[in-house]
Amino acid sequence: MTTTTSTTAAPTEAVATASTADAPALIRFRPTGLDTAPEVNALLERLGLGPFAPDGLTAFGGRNDNWAGTTTLGRQVFVKTVARAPDGSRPEIDRALAFEASAARLPAGSPLRTPEHLGTDRDSAVSAFRLLPGSRSGSEVALDGDFDEALCREAGRAVATLHTLGSAFGEDPDAASGPAIDTAEAPLPPMRWLRAFPWSEVQDRSMAQIAAWKLVQDDTEVVAALHRLRERERTAPHTPAHCDLRFDQFLVHDGQLYLCDWEEFRLADPARDVGAFVGEWLFQATYSVFAPTGEPTTAKDAVAPGFDLSHEEIVERGAAGLRHHIPRIAAFWQGYTECRTPDPELAERAVGFAGWHLYDRLIATAQAHAVLNPVARAAAGIGRTLLLNPAGAVATLRLADLAVPHAAWAHPAVPHPAVPHPADAPSGSPR
């Protein structure tokens, strides 16, 4: 069992959402029965928190089983499990504990906030954290249109602070007592899969996911660009990095932003995290093209298939989506450069990783579909452009200037056309 300062939300199956017509979306799920996971209450009791009270127990979305609720002793707790590796090892738990050891050295008032880590049972791969009642995931906040420029700036400050944690490694005598930080190469993009999709994985993928991978594999220029990105990453300065950054890894609680889920934490190119945040907003902009009004999708709007939109409508909506979201990217970069001076090539590498992120997100969201819709193909087209010419999109995405004054990014100019309209994505391959 171990202790430190951090992490968040994960997982289950059956839907149970809570929202009203006038309230923000709070997407929650029915948790897995605790009778099938006795290690959860066992950990809580060993920590002196008491077992979960069954009333009001809920879960957050994600790939790992999790439980959120109040214990019999009145403590509000979030518990999550992570999968073990086939060989029985627990690399995800070890990486998360390495982050906790590093985060314990953060000063009070740090821009990097993370829910308090209460303890971990490494053998069972279960961790407990202080629950932030009423918190909303970043994906929920973005869905409701509330992930504004102020929050994006805070996100930039948090990520930059994470990337400065490395200054203590190898120098702080207390660091030796914590788990070693992972130095292995981040797994995505899976370079072997660029040649061929493993047959062992086919049965777990939808037809749309297989089609999405084919878009990548059939495009020799994209494959070459991903290899170049990997080579640049290997020679770039490495820092502690999240390496799985998405909107749903953020929490907003009482007006403050928290960053969570550290199972992929490792030494890596910081451009991975910057690019992922940029890619999240570009993916949002792509999907907003097919919202009923052309505005960013809200909790009340379902994404329309988009097959009946004319080329002119797609161009108009694409331009509106980019104008809406690029100020948020600029705000993130503003916050980032306030807390850390990036290396000279970080912005360009980040654009490349944003391009990969668009492919990664379209593959993930294709899981429940039989065919790729126009949204996915539009995302592939934008991702392709970023991968093939990252230098050409740095200024467009407002990553060119350091420490831009707030007044400058509050009212940005219309984006330069180096980032294509979603309409420019072809209907077949993204080539």
| CATH value at residue 337 | 3.90.1200.10
Same domain, 258 and 130: no
Same domain, 238 and 296: yes
Q: Quick one: how far is CA 172 from the chain centroid?
A: 29
Q: Where does residue 113 rank: exposed (0-12), middle (13-18), buried (19+ CB within 10 A)? A: buried
Same domain, 307 and 413: yes
Q: Give the model confidence (pLDDT) of 65-119 as tens digits.
A: 999 999 999 999 999 998 877 887 899 999 999 999 999 989 989 999 999 999 9
Same domain, 89 and 201: no
**What is the mean predicted confidence (pLDDT) over 171-195?**
78
Rounded to whole angstroms, the Cα distance separating 167 from 28 reads 38
Q: Write the DSSP symbol of residue 244.
A: S
Same domain, 107 and 74: yes
Domain holding 312, by residue range, is 149-171+181-424
pLDDT at 318: 67
Same domain, 216 and 114: no
Of 105, 134, 163, which closes a domain?
134
| Residue 6 domain-assigned (yes or no) | no
The number of residues in the chain equals 431
Same domain, 243 and 380: yes
**More reliable by pLDDT, 317 or 297:** 317
**More reliable by pLDDT, 431 or 388:** 388
Of 73, 107, 134, which closes a domain?
134
For residue 245, name the pLDDT band (cuts at 50, 70, 90).
very high
Same domain, 94 and 159: no
Q: Give the model confidence (pLDDT) of 332-343 as tens digits.
A: 999 999 999 999
Strand partners, 241: 266
Q: Give the model confidence (pLDDT) of 255-310 as tens digits.
A: 999 999 999 999 999 999 999 999 999 998 887 776 654 444 444 444 444 556 66
- Which of 133-142, 164-173, 257-266, 316-325 bottoms out in mean pLDDT, i.e. has the lowest? 164-173
pTM: 0.83
Rounded to whole angstroms, the Cα distance separating 193 from 84 reads 22
**More reliable by pLDDT, 384 or 27:** 384
Same domain, 112 and 189: no
First to last CA, the chain: 51
| Residue 68 domain-assigned (yes or no) | yes
Query: What single string gives the DSSP state of each residue in 317-352?
Result: HHHHHHHHHHHHHHHHHHHHHHH----TTHHHHHHH
Sheet with 76-81, strands from edge to edge, namely: 66-70, 76-81, 126-130, 117-121
- Which of 44-53, 184-193, 245-254, 375-384 bottoms out in mean pLDDT, i.e. has the lowest? 375-384
pLDDT at 428 exceeding the cut of 50: no
Nearest-5° angle of CA 383, CA 386, CA 389? 145
Query: What single string gives the DSSP state of each residue in 60-82?
Result: -SSSS-EEEEEBTTS-EEEEEE-
| Residue 251 domain-assigned (yes or no) | yes
Same domain, 156 and 230: yes
pLDDT at 201: 76
Number of domains comprising the chain = 2
The residue type of 260 is C
| Residue 4 domain-assigned (yes or no) | no
| Residue 395 domain-assigned (yes or no) | yes
pLDDT at 418 exceeding the cut of 80: no
Rounded to whole angstroms, the Cα distance separating 388 from 392 reads 9
Same domain, 86 and 185: no
Whether the CB-CB separation of 79 and 7 falls below 8 Å is answered with no
